Structure 1
Amino acid sequence: MQKSQIMKDKIISAVRTFATSKTSGSKVVPDMSELIEATSLLPLSGFDYWERIIRSEFSSTVREPLSPKWKLWSRPKEFVTWLDLLSWDGYKREKALRALSGAAPNTFFYSLAVRRLNDWVPQVRKAAREKLPEITRSTAPEYVVEALCVALSNWNSWGRIEKADKAVLLEIISEKHLAKSLRSKLIMSASGPMPSLFSQLGRTAILDDHIAKIATSAIQPSVRARAYRSLFEGRIVWFEDRKWVWTDIRYCEGRLKPVIRERKLEIDIPLIDLLKRSSEDSSPIVRRVSAEFLIRELGSLGTKATVFAERFATDNSNSVSERGEFALRKLDEAERTNAS
């Protein structure tokens, strides 16, 4: 049996156990321990799938008549639980958000609360905006950081999230202890959408004093490359949205154009130092960025431009050596022009 099927069976079993205890008529708060243990193992990359599985199984189990007929007159006490954030009923999702207090039990359930910012019911999104900061303050930082890394990397695909909703998350990540954990996550993660996370975190100032460290220390080369590019350009750019642009309105033809935003950075690292550090990086992804900015700045580097161009021209990576050779040709052309 495949690992995913084993996990699915474990989740279904845990949901059924919890749903049974919730509808048993007991006056004791339903035990979520088995469900919390099972959902703690779920990867956030497949969140949509697991959310559908849990919602469907919970709903079908709750609808089953679990009590004897003679007890139907006795209405069991309704306990609001974290799983109510998955309800098909928008009123229940809103009620759950407003009633829940204390810490989210794991990353999965905190993610459920975050994703209500993209809920299809406006009143639920409003409740999420109001309650999420409170839930965050009570929840373990490692759960919050893990969930936010995924949410920030994917929120551009959320069709219903609004500026006010995004502002709540940006305010949360600006909390000092969370900002530190997010920067550490950015540097130490060997996989995952960290380049996208870097850009989205750049909407705030939490990276500004640490971009040089990220450029030299991040495990993922693509993150180092993005950090160096920000240092070279003196700005952080991010993908904001897509906007429909007509290409030929007569035939109702058009396309979605990416909307890019940026924020300026105050950089006090000399260009030569940036070139030296980036040109010595172990990854060709980073050295290619370095060579690109060498070409842009050939006219301002004097004789040092030749040193870097020759280094890039002999690089083992074709994409880097091609840029180095191009830089040498441009320098040669400039020299001949000046000589004549």
Structure 2
Amino acid sequence: MQYQQEDAEEVLSAVRQVAQSVSSGREAVADISVLVAVTSNLSLTNLDMWERLLRWEFSRELKASMPAKWIFWTQPTPFLAWIDLCSEDGFKREKTLRTLSGAAPNSFFFAIAVRRLNDWVPQVREAARAKLPIIAKDTDPELVVDVLCATLPHWSSWGRMEDKDKQALVEIASIEKVGHSLKSRILSATSGPMVSVLSQAACTETLDRYLDEIARKAIQPSVRAKAYKCLLEGKIVWCDGRKWEWTDKRYCKGQFKPILCERTVRVTTPFLGTLESAAMDRSPIVRRVAGEMLIRELEKIGTESLGLAELLASDPSPSVAERGKFALKKLVNPLL
């Protein structure tokens, strides 16, 4: 909490400096380098709070320093490209998006731009769809991946997004250099919702060719398990949103249920070789996936299934060994 308060004070100080440069009218475009430097160190996990803070403080400072209206020769307020994405004025947010060019200054402001895909003004969302893929191509892919990793686990809960808005984010993830950086991040991440990132990024085929590498080399066991399952099933599933379902209308009871989508994986790997690799993985989470797929595909595997079943049955993990023993019983008595 103390660190967040200190960050907030630094951000507020930077916003005041930007507002003062705007009010002075000395520059055609205000210098936001101080604000960029401060926001580059912020986490992307609480963007809603930071966006409200920027909007409130910048608006307050501008109004406080606004000259009298009768001074008709005062220069117009300069156009502030990135900070105006937080403006309370929808027209200004739209105009800002349509006039942006070049790379995003940091991951924070690119994340603010991505949030405009869920903006409450339809014209702002339209502008974001048009400009975000162009900006992403000019931006450092590592910054783009920072934003994707923060956004993809939660974008299905963005209630204002339409299918065409989601397509813009898919287009960003489909950029070649972004896909390669996203793969590297998924491989090397030691923590974080990388399984959700992998699942949500699956709506595009960008990561399909990397699934085998992710399955064998990713640090997080749950990520390896997800990749192996996709390869073995030949499909990938992701959440495309949530819908309300009544459980008892008499008492106004219900719950949100996920809307699941799936598609075929556009890569083929030897099923038996992939299954053997999963069965010898260092994590029981992955070996459980191997056990489940072995039981499901016993008839198709053939004679090699016996060796795999015996290997899993002797596993030190009880949950894995249970699956191996069940596979052995199925081999002895197929009617089970």
Are the aligned partners of 1:234 and 1:265 in contact in 2 as well (CA < 8 Å)?
A: yes
- Name the CA shift for 1:34/1:268 in 2 (closer, same or farther; >3 Å): closer
Quick check: 176-185 or 243-252, which moved more? 243-252
CA–CA distance in structure 2, aligned partners of residues 289 and 227 of structure 1: 10
Cα deviation, 1:4-52, whole Å, max 9, x if unaligned, reads 2221211111111111211223244222111000000011112222222
Q: Which runs of 5 or more structure 2 residues have no equivalent in the other structure?
A: none
Q: Deviations over 1:199-254 (max 9, x none)?
A: 12221221222211111011221111111000111111111122233445566554
Aligned-partner Cα distance in 1 for 2:64–2:237: 52
Q: CA deviation at 1:257?
A: 2.5
Tell me how far apart the structure 1 counterparts of residues 266 and 34 of structure 2 sit (CA, whole Å).
50
Q: Deviations over 1:247-285 (max 9, x none)?
A: 455665543332111111255433321221001111111
Aligned to 1:301: 301
Question: Is the Cα–Cα contact under 8 Å of residues 157 and 242 in structure 2 kept in the other structure?
Answer: no
Aligned length: 335
Matched, 1:286 2:286: yes
**Change in CA separation of 1:84 and 1:266 when aligned onto 2, cut-off 3 Å:** closer
Query: 3-state SS of the aligned residue for 2:319?
Result: helix
The correspondence of residues 92-241 of structure 1 with structure 2, limited to 5 A, is 92-241=92-241
8 Å Cα contact 2:205-2:266 kept in structure 1: no
CA deviations 1:159-191 (Å, max 9, x no partner) are 111111111121222222222222222222222
Identify if the C-alpha distance between structure 1 residues 250 and 3 changes in structure 2 by more than 3 Å, giving closer, same or farther: closer
How far does residue 73 in structure 1 lie from its aligned partner after superposition?
Answer: 4.6
Secondary structure at the aligned position of 1:153 is classed as: coil
Alignment partner of 2:186: what SS?
Answer: helix
Distance 1:319 1:138, change over 3 A: same
The normalised TM-score by structure 1 is: 0.90
CA distance in 2, matches of 1:234, 1:49: 41
Unaligned stretches of 5+ residues in structure 1: none
CA distance in 2, matches of 1:184, 1:315: 31
Q: Which amino acid aligns with 1:227?
A: A
Distance in 2 (CA, whole Å) between partners of 1:130 and 1:317 is 51
Q: Secondary structure at the match of 2:74?
A: coil
User: How many percent of aligned residue pairs carry the same amino acid?
Assistant: 50
Aligned to 1:75: 74
Q: TM-score, normalised by structure 2?
A: 0.91
Coordinate RMSD, CA, aligned: 2.3
- After the TM superposition, which parts of structure 1 deviate over 6 Å for at least 4 consecutive aligned residues? none
Contact 1:24 1:76 in 2 (8 A): no
Report the equivalent of 1:84. 84
